[in-house]
Structure 1
Amino acid sequence: MTKIGSKLMGWDKLFKYGFNLSPMYRRSTARIIDTSKDLAKVTIKLPISYKNRNYVSSIFGGSMFSAVDPIPMVQLINILGEDYVVWDKSAEIFFKRPARENLYADFEFTLEEVNEIKAGVIQKEEIEIIKITQLTNKAKDKVFCEVRKTIYIADKNFYKEKRKNSKK
């Protein structure tokens, strides 16, 4: 279904609308507002609303985390392609100040980062990277939250063999 959808509207639009219509992402109250054609850059908006305000009228920390959580892994899966396995391994969230306004985040993988990931996987068969995302105001001059995600990436054949051997 994704292959047909990507041919009809392109991977970038399918990624954007797929996330925005998905119940798991809709519940975060965030929306993807922009994607580059190659999915190397994704921008989200987390509007403050009655759905995500906490007891002190700032955005609930869980909403901030859930707005950021799935994007880097799914983005990287689509950038790297079918020869790689990509999994979230861990995450840390650091709250900097109460968020009482709409928040924004950019998720970006540069060509240099992607090439380093591919070279690392060729050399070691499996690697971990840390991707840092900041939730900011629209002007990007105030940071409200920072999320550090550890992402596991492996050669697909290596990963299959590793899993097969671990079941013995």
Structure 2
Amino acid sequence: MRYTAMTPARLRRLMNWWPPMLFSGIRVEHVDDEWREARVRLKLRRWNRNYVGTAFGGSLFAMTDPFFMILMMNRVGRDYIVWDRAGEIRFVTPGRTDVTAHITLSDAQVAAFRAAADAGDKHLEWFSVDVVGTDGTVVATVRKQLYIRRKERLTRR
């Protein structure tokens, strides 16, 4: 039911070499074989710190940015259009260490998202993930709003 011929392992390798991730110190550590989860780490370096020496907010957001959409696209399949619609980040505490984000989509979330699209036009839904420091402290909470719509079938006359 995959959306593309891309495998999770190949996506992980490509994302780790993609310049916006690579040069920000972002590393995709794991993408589940069933597209249920992804684990991403931001290694705190001199070049991804802000003026006061903590993790740059743009890097915190970037480390989570594409994953809800990519995971959902591959979970719901080719009969649906899935897009990022909006995103927001709430900073909780300064990031003074490496941080990780564990992005997950449960079977129940995917089923509800697909059912909402099957019931009508478009559907919008928010998903969230905590960005956590090495000591377990929540550094930021990122929310992404996904858009889904069932693709229209071409009918033959």
After superposing on structure 2, the runs of 4+ consecutive aligned residues of structure 1 that deviate more than 4 Å are none
- Identity fraction in percent: 27
1:142 pairs with one of 113, 137, 145: 137
CA RMSD of aligned residues (A): 1.7
Q: Decide whether the 8 Å contact of 1:103 with 1:137 is kept in 2.
A: yes
Task: Please point out which of 40, 53, 56 is paired with 2:52.
Answer: 56
The whole-number CA distance in structure 2 between the counterparts of 1:79 and 1:22 is 23
Specify the alignment match of 2:102 in structure 1: 106
Normalized per residue, which structure has more helix? 1
Aligned residues: 151
Letter in 1 for 2:82: V
TM-score normalised by L of structure 1:
0.83
- Higher RCO, 1 vs 2 (CA within 8 Å, ≥6 residues apart): 2
Q: Please say if residues 29 and 67 of structure 1, whose CA atoms lie closer than 8 Å, have aligned partners that are also in contact.
A: no
1:102-122 Cα distance to aligned partner (Å, 9 max, x none): 000011011111111111111
Counterpart of 2:89 in structure 1 is 93
- For structure 2, which runs of at least 5 residues remain unmatched after alignment? none
Task: Tell me by how many angstroms 1:138 deviates.
Answer: 3.4
Query: Residues of 1 paired with 2:56 and 2:64: CA distance?
Result: 13
Q: 1:44-78 deviations in whole A, cap 9, x for unaligned?
A: 11110012011111011111111111111112112
SS at match of 1:157: coil
C-alpha displacement of 1:80:
1.6
Equivalent residue, structure 2, for 1:163: none
Structure 1: state its 5+ residue gaps: 161-168
Tell me which residue corresponds to 2:38: 42
